[in-house]
Amino acid sequence: MNILGINSVAVDAAASLVSKGKVIAAMEEERFTRIKHDGAFPVNAIESCLSIGKIEASDLDAICFSFDEWKAVRSRLLYFMSRGDVRALWNTICKRGKAFIGQLQHETTFQKKFSITKKTKIYKFDHHLSHAASCFFPSPFDKAAILILDAAGEDTSISIHIGRDNRIQTLKKYPYGQSLGAFYTSLTEFLGFKPNSGEGKVMGLAAYGEVVFAKQMEHLLALKPRGDIQLDLSYFTHHRGLGSHCSSRFYKEFGPPRIPESQITQRDENLAASLQKRLEDAAIHIARHLKKISGMDRLCLAGGVALNGVMNAAILEHSGFKEVYLMPSPGDSGSSTGAALLYQHQIQNQQREEGLLKSPFLGVSFSDEEVEKELKNFPNLRWEKRQDYLDYTAHKLAEGAIIGWFQGRFEFGPRALGARSILADPRRVDMKDILNERVKFRESFRPFAPAILHEHSAEYFENPHDNPFMLLVFRIREEMRDRISSGVHVDGTGRGQTVHKEISPTFWELIRSFREKTGIPVLLNTSFNVRGEPIINTPLEALQCFVKTKMDFLVMDDIVVWKPNGR
Ligand SMILES: [Fe+2]
């Protein structure tokens, strides 16, 4: 059975291919179009999934969308009618109506472009159920509680479920507008960062501030009995879909918003810290309730808010769950995987295969011939194939080199996990500044992640819970901080990726070799891109990024590339 999952609503368009019970390809459209968070119909991602599966569209048994536009139109019209909100009602008719027609057009586009037959079934699944399927079915758990937090699905932004074997049962959907994702995004916008993009920056900034706005945050977002929350919507406009997120009442209380790219003030830092704390409190509150009513010990998390690794770790530490599972892409792109898996397990009643999604390396790869062909277009660069490229790279890293690392299939999801990464030595105190100055050009308050051999995780992290997809932020043991100083955030935490030999053998071997030379089983790992761009996909993009930045070496499989005159 071949099933294609598609997310094509608003942001992070993506496609996933499930074949013979397993997820064999999954990728975001932004990697191809080079537009960050691109929400366009993912034609390129679909083509690549089919190519990896060596199938034609006519071989597909089902095509599954992870959002039902018609359901969204209906529920929002009812919501605004009940509130007598004429402006938002009219906006919904125009905007969501257009999106509904867009989804119909997507189906037609698919039928025309990929020439599917009438026997291919097309499904539009509930968005939150797609998220739930994306994290429960690939999890190692037979049964688990499921918590979904995002900006907005069709009719909810928070939902809780129970997963058992190949079934998911929804326990509760929170009312439309009561959204932790939209709450965080609203303040992200107020703090001068791009909504639905800059939330990770706010999380990084939070570590610099104090929670001085606790009272105001409690007023904006109240915690109620039985795991309920109440967002005071008089401070917000996000739920009305009119473009902005905060209302005039919010500006009256908190003052003028930060102008994008302007100096960050103490107020901004404190606001970020207070927001982050309130998000964590609310998420823990809901998770505790879920733990109580489900009686489960294990939790699966998904939805865009689950990209907040600090919140995820807080849930794990304070809600009573013993283990948590997150798939490589908990945001909307991952819902494409969930939609395909929903068809496989809920509709077709197929049992879950062991390890149906173990590796995050679900994107496109390139042969040595393709890399060498591209290198011919860069006559100013020198390169050689080296059998000892792992040992050589580890040696150069230990000497302080910054290295572009391009290996095999690219990662699904927003994190570079050792396939399209920029690597450096974490021991040097100044490495963060050097990376920013020479390569990344990003805000100085953002941390860089340490990638650690999972066998050594407990030596460095206070909580050694597995973190293969870099979605949990834990405190680094105080006595170890000096050893990996540039991988430690200002509050002593790190988004440590636990690297497993069976998932990433080459990357694991590289870190092992670095440890042999330095005694440190950790490398600094940041995404292979420059500020504001999606992570690279092709050898050409790797070479272009290498040329325009001041990286020392680029290693593409076993080919080592350098600039004859240094940087
Ligand atoms: Fe979502």
Ligand 1 centroid to Cα of residue 181, in Å, is 9
pLDDT recorded at residue 118: 67
**Token pair 């670095």: residue:** 514
Distance 251 CA to ligand 1 centre (A): 27
Q: Is residue 405 part of a domain?
A: yes
Same structural domain, 292 and 336: no
Pair 190, 73 in one domain: no
**Six-digit token pair at 423?**
């690597």
Number of domains present in the structure of the chain:
3
Distance 390 CA to ligand 1 centre (A): 39
- Separation of alpha carbons 511 and 4, rounded Å: 35
- DSSP for 490-544 reads TTSEE-PEEE-TTT-HHHHHHHHHHHHHHS--EEEEEESS-TTSPPP-SHHHHHH
192 and 218 in a single domain? The answer is yes
Residues 293 and 392 reside in one and the same domain: no
pLDDT score of 81: 85
How many angstroms separate the alpha carbon of residue 27 from the centre of ligand 1? 16
Same-domain pairing of 286 and 241 = yes
Q: How far is the CA of 334 from the centre of ligand 1 (A)?
A: 9
Provide the domain limits for residue 312. 180-325
- Looking at the structure, do residues 524 and 423 belong to the same domain, yes or no? yes
- Residue 315 shares a structural domain with residue 339: no
Q: What is the pLDDT of residue 426?
A: 97
| Dist. CA 119 → ligand 1 center (Å) | 29
Q: How far is CA 449 from CA 87, 402, 484, 485, 493, in A?
A: 45, 15, 10, 11, 10
Residue 475 CA to ligand 1 centre (angstroms)? 28
Give average pLDDT by consecutive 10-residue segment, the chain, 567 residues. Answer: 92 96 97 94 95 93 92 86 82 74 73 74 95 98 97 95 97 95 96 94 96 96 97 89 84 94 95 98 98 97 98 97 98 98 96 92 96 96 97 97 97 97 96 89 88 97 94 97 95 95 97 98 95 93 95 97 86
- Residue 444 C-alpha to ligand 1 middle, in angstroms? 29
**Looking at residue 243, what is its pLDDT?**
73
- As a whole number of angstroms, the distance between CA 209 and CA 502 comes to 39
Q: Are 358 and 531 in contact (CB under 8 A)?
A: no
Same domain, 105 and 231: no
2 CA distance to ligand 1 middle (Å): 24
The CATH number of the domain where 269 resides is what?
A: 3.30.420.40
Q: Residues with Cβ within 5 Å of ion ligand 1?
A: 150, 332
> How far is the C-alpha of 57 from the C-alpha of 46, rounded, in Å?
9
In a domain, 139, yes or no: no
77 within domain boundaries: yes
Query: What is the model's pLDDT at position 345?
Result: 97
